[in-house]
């Protein structure tokens, strides 16, 4: 029988969400995504300790933020040996509200990949979908540096990313689900809010349908999954980035997988672009998105700080 993972590939591009490149081959994903937390998790494993030590030693005279970028790119290069498509590498979350600094780091990351012989088409620079991050992505896209806008929870963020002609967005399913479940408390009905009724699934489906209906070329990649049901409910989405644990569950099952997202029959004219004021107000009106965006940046910033500390320790060794 055909596994759910192979069936899913017939409807959606499967992406692996991990920094642990040794896990990738068994799932044969097209692309792979990383973030500060995933890279931190990987570098703390004994099998990756030599990679971190070698990279730090090779750039001992450089500033710490530059060494960090070398570490991120080193993992990206290893991932690209396994996947045939693209790798996403993230700009430091602590720069999420600084357009100029985001641009500088993104350009440096891309320059490191290019110096290693990697074409721009194989790299997506991940940037938080703040107003400042989206404006940086607009400029990067104009330079031919393609972007993956992450920490995306609100419809306003998706619209602004479309306005900026970014290559790809990563709306978060699981964190939206987490917020609504916590907010509902004892009133939460897991069975009733599963599958296509999951609030995280509904958010991604709404964005995907809107993009298709208005002819937006930006790719939609559902991310941050808590269970296989959320993944299967988004079969038909452009891409889905999935953790190794959930990829293994999909690979172990041969239950049928049917497309859930179907393109609209009619394409409507493009919408007028959101102004900065409209974006900020609409984001502010969405309590879930406002809270999860701020929390996501804080959590990634903490893990970025932990990676800094590991590099400092390696430099001092």
Helix H segments across the chain? 4-9, 36-43, 49-58, 64-80, 99-115, 131-142, 155-163, 173-184, 199-213, 228-232, 244-252, 276-285, 287-316
DSSP 141-156: HHTT--EEEEEE-SHH
Distance CA(296)–CA(126), nearest Å, equals 14
Residues sharing a CB contact under 8 Å with residue 304, sequence separation 6 or more, in sequence order: 36, 68, 92, 93, 94
Residue located via tokens 């390696």 = 314
The encoded tokens of residue 29 equal 């994903």
| 81 catalytic per annotation | no
Sign of CA dihedral 36, 38, 44, 48: negative
Name the catalytic one among 45, 126, 292, 306. Answer: 126
Distance CA(292)–CA(142), nearest Å, equals 29
Q: Which helix (H) or strand (E) holds 17?
A: strand 13-17
Residues sharing a CB contact under 8 Å with residue 299, sequence separation 6 or more, in sequence order: 37
The count of other CB atoms within 10 Å of the CB of residue 291 is 14
Burial 243-277, CB ≥16 within 10 A → b, else e: bbebbebbeebeeebeebbeeeeeeeeeeeebeee
Strand 13-17, strand 239-242: pairing: parallel
Active-site residue set:
126
């Amino acid at each position: 029988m055909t596994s759910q993972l192979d069936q899913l590939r017939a409807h959606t591009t499967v992406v692996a969400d991990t920094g642990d490149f040794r896990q990738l081959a068994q799932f044969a994903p097209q692309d792979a995504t990383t973030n500060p937390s995933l890279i931190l998790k990987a570098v703390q494993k004994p099998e990756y300790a030599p990679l971190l030590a070698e990279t730090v030693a090779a750039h001992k005279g450089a500033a710490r933020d530059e060494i960090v970028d070398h570490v991120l790119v080193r993992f990206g290069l290893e991932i690209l040996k396994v996947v045939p498509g693209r790798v996403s590498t993230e700009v430091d979350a602590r720069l999420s509200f600084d357009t100029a600094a985001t641009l500088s780091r993104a350009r440096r990351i891309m320059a490191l990949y290019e110096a290693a012989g990697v074409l721009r088409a194989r790299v997506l620079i991940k940037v938080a979908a703040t107003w400042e991050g989206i404006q940086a992505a607009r400029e990067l896209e104009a330079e031919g540096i393609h972007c993956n806008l992450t920490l995306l929870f609100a419809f306003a963020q998706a619209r602004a990313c479309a306005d900026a002609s970014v290559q790809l967005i990563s709306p978060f399913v699981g964190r939206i689900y987490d917020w609504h479940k916590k907010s509902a408390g004892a009133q939460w009905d897991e069975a009733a809010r599963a599958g296509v009724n999951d609030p995280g699934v509904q958010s991604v489906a709404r964005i995907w349908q809107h993009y298709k209906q208005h002819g937006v070329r930006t790719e939609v990649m559902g991310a941050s999954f808590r269970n296989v049901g959320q993944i299967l409910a988004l079969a038909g989405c452009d891409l889905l980035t999935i953790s190794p644990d959930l990829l293994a569950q999909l690979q172990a099952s041969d239950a049928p997988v049917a497309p859930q997202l179907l393109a609209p029959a009619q394409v409507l004219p493009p919408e007028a672009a959101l102004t900065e004021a409209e974006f900020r107000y609409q984001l502010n009106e969405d309590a879930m998105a406002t809270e999860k965006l701020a929390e996501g940046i804080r959590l990634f910033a903490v893990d970025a700080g932990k990676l800094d500390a590991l590099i400092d320790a390696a430099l001092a060794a």
